[in-house]
């Protein structure tokens, strides 16, 4: 056989080999073992005929070339030459069926071994149909919705040649100054783990090799959200206990859900940069968790090991990263430049290089590239699958579920859609671009329904809708205040849209302040002083400190950045065709000086007491946040009664059930998110004051009630004890059930005996 025929023959056996929930069932075990064996044989055959340069090429990732603003992305002449020599394994930031097909054609028709390229893109919260940012979607507390939205993103992206997304971002973030808090699911480990798994399932679907699926990439591994000072790329220093109990579980959940790839983080942990951390990438990820996919560096992170001070030159950086377990080099070129020489000189073992190549080829095989490298380059699908009416309708539903009602004095909301006049004011009222949020992929401002447009669609034909910008998002210009005040005074009610620009969130967008930027705070005061009913609509990528603004307005909606259907979704809630049900996935501080502030903190030896000076408190404001984790109002009210635990004793390996009755005590139908928290009262190590362990979405008509029953398992109580063992310690545990992390009712049970794991 000729060499290409050998590769083609072994590629026929290439089927999905990565672990998945379904593959763990007993009926699938023997089949999985067989397919694993076939694919490893295929990969062995390829490795046996590859040169060192071709092996290294599979580990090289470069961004696409954008020769001018009027042409789409493509491969550069230099990249084409690399592809032809088999020295480039993947390209990112190139999209479109035609562009990706042409690049793939070069690999299939002109390289010696015809190994297909993998195309990646940051598809974070939608491709062309832009959904709410991940922090907003986490406010829905609805993993099924999140999975559905990720599935739509995969369908659209895969129709345009994309194989791989650099998502989900599963970093726990307790510091809202960090711009990338917008990309994750907030501060809680349990909620974040559920959302991580949901997004992986959505992107990859039931079959990652399907032409409508894309490979997920759990990032940033690990603890990137713990950057000191909330400053992007900064140092992280924490105990292994905190790392394992707070920051790692969402990554573990992503791996268990079958994530095909991971991305290393920019930061160091305890003096070792993640990109050079063998304990993290090899001992933990591969050894403890059994991950079999590949790890890609973040953008130029390998050469940044020199800035960290752990590598003297590019060659040393490349050797450190590869031997740590970072398989693919994103953009730095360190592997391309240095690995062939390092391998030939014996400074990097051939076996280490081969194992990294094996992991990359496994993923290419898993997503079906060897079966049909052009399956995701369909111009017909590209023409029919983007921004469909169904996708837009689901984006609108996601937007409604993601809105959190923070204040509603005297039930000013919902507004009547038959008001004689309504004023729509603020720098974000008629904005389209910023509503896309950061990392909008192929989302376009022209796709977006603005708040002003959404309100016009929602009100009666005879209602006058008045508009004034008032001020810009940033800057000091107040010249348009007077016009905005005149508009407000002439209306029956005011909707005031303020917040951040999308550039203020995402990568490299840390802020030292959590206040409204520019002169927006003064605009809120000026409009509030008119005495008109004012609804404040917040649009932002992080929690904002709005302590003063709360006093100026009658109602507040936290809408984050909701994507293409933002205006319609907000209008649906404003005028009551939908009742808000979102809950905060992150604490909102009174002021930036409280940061970090999060619900599952630990007690000190001197817990805060307002009556005692020498306790852990501030002298100028309460320790408590402006709004607690899990908070969110509805247009109706809910009552909780009869929290019970049965049995009151949990034996080794057992369970208890926690029951509560929830009643809709208001006049409208509504959805409540019932939350269950647990506290270990006394243990061998200090524990958080409470931890979210379960929640339930519950929709009730007025006057209806329903019992909600949670089951707490032995595994829900596991901790790492003082002697380093995973165990459940005997003693009393307090369960709290309620509408948020603050407003709860409690009961207790006792664990009788430990069981080490």
What is the chain's mean pLDDT, rounded?
94
Pairing assessment for the beta strands 731-738 and 744-751 based on DSSP bridges: antiparallel
Does residue 97 lie within any of the structural domains? yes
Q: Does a structural domain hold residue 234?
A: yes
Per-residue model confidence as pLDDT tens digits over 152-166: 999 999 999 999 999
Query: According to the model, what pLDDT value does residue 14 have?
Result: 47
Say whether both 20 and 129 belong to one domain. Answer: no
Q: Each residue of 410-460: pLDDT tens digit? A: 999 999 999 999 999 999 999 999 999 999 999 999 999 999 999 999 999
Q: Tell me the whole-structure pTM to 2 decimals.
A: 0.95
Q: Are residues 579 and 643 in the same domain?
A: no
Chain segment 545-558, per-residue pLDDT in tens: 999 999 999 999 99
Distance CA 227, CA 231 (A): 6
Give the pLDDT mean for 38-58. 94
Could you tell me the pLDDT band of residue 35, with boundaries at 50, 70 and 90? low
Number of domains in the chain: 4
What is the share, in percent, of the chain residues with pLDDT greater than 70? 95
Nearest to 327 by CA among 309, 352, 290: 352
Rounded distance, CA 94 to CA 440, Å? 15
**Is 610 inside any structural domain?**
no
Do 347 and 413 lie in one domain? The reply is no
- Give dist(CA 302, CA 152) in Å, integer: 33
Distance CA(718)–CA(754), nearest Å, equals 10
Give the residue among 591, 492, 609, 606 at the shortest CA–CA distance from 546.
591
Query: Domain holding 679: CATH number?
Result: 2.60.40.10
CATH of the domain at 92: 3.20.20.300
3-state SS class at 240: helix
For 252-267, write each residue's pLDDT tens digit: 999 999 999 999 999 9
Annotate 316-376 with DSSP letters as a single string: HHHHHHHHHT--BEESS-HHHHHHHHHHHTTSS-HHHHHHHHHHHHHHHHHTTTTT-TTTT
Judged against a pLDDT cut of 70, whether residue 7 lies above it is answered with no
**pLDDT tens digits, one per residue of 83-125:** 999 999 999 999 999 999 999 999 999 999 999 999 999 999 9
Please tell me whether residues 139 and 207 are part of one structural domain: yes
Please tell me the predicted confidence (pLDDT) of residue 20: 40
- CA 39 to chain CA centroid, nearest Å: 32
**Residue in this structure with the two tokens 């075990």, named with its chain if needed:** 29
pLDDT for residue 66: 86
Catalytic residue among 142, 188, 232, 298: 298
Instruction: Return the DSSP state at 115.
Output: P
* Claim to verify: residue 409 and residue 439 sit in the same structural domain: yes
Q: Is the pLDDT of residue 19 over 60?
A: no
Domain with 728 in it: 638-751
User: Token pair for residue 273?
Assistant: 């940069």
Q: Is there a domain that residue 615 lies in? A: no
Digit-coded pLDDT (tens) for 235-253: 999 999 999 999 999 999 9
Shared domain check, 494 and 554: yes
428: domain CATH number? 3.40.50.1700
Instruction: Give the pLDDT confidence of 70-81 residue by residue, as tens digits.
Output: 778 999 999 999
289-303, 316-330, 719-733: the lowest-pLDDT one = 719-733
What pLDDT, on a 0 to 100 scale, did the predictor assign at position 31? 52
Evaluate if residue 593 carries a pLDDT over 60: yes
Q: Catalytic residue at 743?
A: no
Q: Which of 561, 579, 594 is the last residue of a domain?
A: 594
What does the pLDDT read at residue 755? Answer: 53
Residue 210 has pLDDT above 70, yes or no: yes
pLDDT at 753: 74
What does each C-alpha distance from 411 to 147, 551, 668, 701 come to in angstroms?
33, 16, 12, 18
pLDDT at 494 over 80: yes
- pLDDT surpassing 60 at residue 37: yes
- 133-155 in b/e burial notation, b at 16+ Cβ within 10 A? bbbbbbbbbbbebbbbbbbbbbb
Q: Is the pLDDT of residue 67 over 70?
A: yes
The answer to whether residue 682 is domain-embedded is yes
* Last residue of one domain, picked from the residues 325, 350, 382: 382
SS3 695: strand
Q: What is the mean pLDDT of residues 488-506?
A: 98
- Whether residue 212 is predicted with pLDDT greater than 60 in this model: the reply is yes
Does a structural domain hold residue 600? no
Position 624 in a domain: no
Q: Choose one of 542, 562, 594: the last residue of a domain.
A: 594
60 shares its domain with 136: yes
Alpha-carbon torsion, ordered 26, 27, 28, 31, to 10 deg: 120
Q: What mean pLDDT is predicted for residues 620-647?
A: 97
Verify that 647 and 565 share a domain, yes or no. no
What would the mean pLDDT of 669-679 be, rounded to a whole number? 98
Q: Are residues 266 and 278 in the same domain?
A: yes
Q: Are residues 335 and 434 in the same domain?
A: no
Q: Given this model, what pLDDT does residue 10 score?
A: 44
685-721 per-residue burial string, b: 16 or more CB within 10 A, e: under 16: eebbebbbbbbbbbebeeeeeeebebebebebbbbbb
The whole-number pLDDT of residue 166 equals: 98
Cis ω for the linkage preceding 641 (within 30 of 0): no
What pLDDT, on the 0 to 100 scale, is given for residue 3?
A: 41
pLDDT at 15: 41
Burial class of 563 by CB neighbour count within 10 A (0 to 12, 13 to 18, 19+): buried
Question: What band does 32 get if pLDDT is binned at 50, 70 and 90?
Answer: low
Instruction: Show the DSSP H helices in 334-479 as ranges.
Output: 334-344, 350-366, 379-384, 389-402, 451-458
204 and 109 share a domain? yes
Model pLDDT, residue 554? 98
Does some domain include residue 435? yes
Residues 735 and 654 in one domain: yes
Residue 520 vs residue 8, higher pLDDT: 520
Whether the per-residue pLDDT at 25 is higher than 70: the answer is no
* Nearest-angstrom CA–CA distance, 375 and 161: 8
Lowest mean pLDDT across 331-345, 658-672, 720-734 = 720-734
Query: What are the beta bridge partners of residue 725?
Result: none
Return the pLDDT at 550. 97
- The more confident residue out of 359 and 4 is 359
In whole angstroms, how far apart are CA 549 and each of 283, 356, 525, 528, 546?
50, 54, 7, 9, 5
């Amino acid at each position: 056989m000729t060499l290409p025929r050998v590769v083609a023959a072994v590629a026929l056996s290439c089927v999905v080999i990565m672990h998945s929930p379904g593959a763990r069932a007993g009926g699938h075990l023997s089949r999985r073992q067989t397919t694993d064996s076939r694919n490893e044989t295929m990969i062995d055959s390829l490795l046996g005929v590859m040169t060192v340069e071709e092996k290294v090429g599979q580990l090289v990732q470069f961004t696409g070339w954008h020769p001018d603003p009027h042409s789409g992305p493509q491969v550069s002449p230099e990249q084409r030459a690399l592809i032809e020599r088999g020295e480039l394994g993947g390209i990112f930031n190139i999209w479109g069926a035609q562009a990706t097909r042409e690049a793939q054609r070069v690999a299939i028709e002109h390289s010696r071994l015809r190994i297909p390229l993998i195309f990646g893109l940051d598809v974070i919260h939608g491709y062309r149909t832009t959904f709410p940012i991940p922090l907003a979607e986490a406010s829905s507390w609805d993993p099924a919705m999140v999975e559905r939205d990720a599935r739509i993103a995969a369908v659209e992206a895969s129709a345009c040649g994309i194989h791989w997304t650099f998502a989900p971002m599963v970093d726990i973030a307790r510091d809202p100054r960090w711009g990338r808090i917008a990309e994750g699911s907030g501060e809680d480990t349990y909620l974040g783990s559920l959302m991580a798994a949901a997004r992986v399932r959505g992107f990859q679907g039931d079959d990652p090799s399907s032409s409508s699926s894309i490979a997920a990439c759990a990032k940033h591994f690990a603890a990137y959200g713990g950057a000191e000072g909330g400053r992007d790329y900064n140092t992280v220093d924490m105990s292994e206990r905190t790392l394992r109990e707070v920051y790692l579980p969402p990554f573990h959940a992503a791996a268990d859900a079958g994530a095909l790839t991971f991305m290393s983080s920019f930061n160091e942990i305890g003096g070792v940069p993640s990109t050079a951390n063998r304990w993290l990438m090899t001992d933990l990820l591969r050894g403890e968790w059994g991950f079999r996919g590949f790890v890609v560096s973040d953008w130029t992170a390998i050469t940044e090991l020199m800035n960290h001070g752990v590598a003297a030159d590019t060659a040393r950086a490349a050797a450190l990263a590869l031997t740590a377990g970072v398989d693919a080099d994103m953009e730095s070129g360190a592997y391309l430049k240095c690995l062939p020489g390092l391998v030939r000189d014996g400074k990097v073992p051939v076996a280490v290089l081969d194992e990294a190549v094996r992991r990359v080829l496994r993923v290419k095989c898993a997503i079906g590239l060897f079966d049909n490298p052009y399956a995701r380059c369909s111009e017909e699908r590209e023409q029919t699958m983007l921004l469909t009416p169904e996708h837009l309708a689901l984006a609108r539903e996601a937007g409604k579920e993601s809105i959190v009602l923070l204040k509603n004095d005297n039930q000013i909301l919902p507004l009547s859609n038959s008001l004689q006049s309504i004023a729509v004011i603020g720098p974000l009222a008629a904005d389209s671009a910023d509503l896309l949020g950061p990392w909008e992929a192929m989302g376009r401002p022209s796709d977006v329904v603005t708040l002003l447009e959404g309100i016009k669609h929602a009100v009666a034909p005879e209602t006058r809708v008045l508009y004034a910008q008032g001020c810009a998002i940033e800057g000091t210009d107040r010249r348009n205040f007077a016009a905005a005040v005149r508009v407000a005074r002439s209306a029956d009610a005011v909707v005031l849209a303020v917040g951040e620009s999308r550039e203020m969130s995402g990568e490299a967008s840390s802020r030292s302040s959590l206040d409204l930027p520019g002169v927006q705070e003064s605009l809120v005061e000026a409009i509030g002083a008119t005495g008109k009913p004012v609804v404040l609509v917040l649009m932002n990528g992080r929690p904002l400190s709005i302590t003063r603004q709360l006093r100026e307005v009658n109602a507040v909606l936290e809408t984050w950045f909701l994507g293409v259907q933002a205006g319609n979704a907000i209008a649906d809630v404003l005028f009551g065709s939908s009742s808000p049900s979102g809950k905060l996935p992150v604490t909102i501080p009174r002021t930036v000086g409280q940061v970090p502030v999060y619900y599952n903190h630990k007690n000190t030896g001197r817990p805060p007491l307002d009556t005692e000076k020498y306790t852990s408190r501030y002298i100028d404001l309460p320790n408590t946040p402006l709004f607690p984790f899990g908070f969110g109002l509805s247009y109706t009210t809910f009552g909780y009664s009869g929290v019970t635990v049965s049995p009151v004793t949990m034996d080794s390996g057992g369970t208890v059930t926690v029951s509560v009755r929830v009643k809709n005590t208001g006049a409208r139908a509504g959805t409540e998110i019932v939350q269950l928290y647990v506290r270990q009262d006394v243990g061998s190590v200090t524990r958080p004051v409470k931890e979210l362990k379960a929640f339930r979405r519950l929709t009730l008509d007025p006057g209806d009630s329903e019992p909600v029953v949670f089951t707490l398992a032995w595994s829900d109580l596991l901790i790492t004890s003082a002697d380093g063992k995973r165990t459940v310690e005997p003693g009393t545990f307090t369960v709290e059930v309620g509408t948020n992390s603050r407003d709860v009712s409690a009961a207790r049970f006792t664990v009788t005996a430990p069981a080490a794991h």
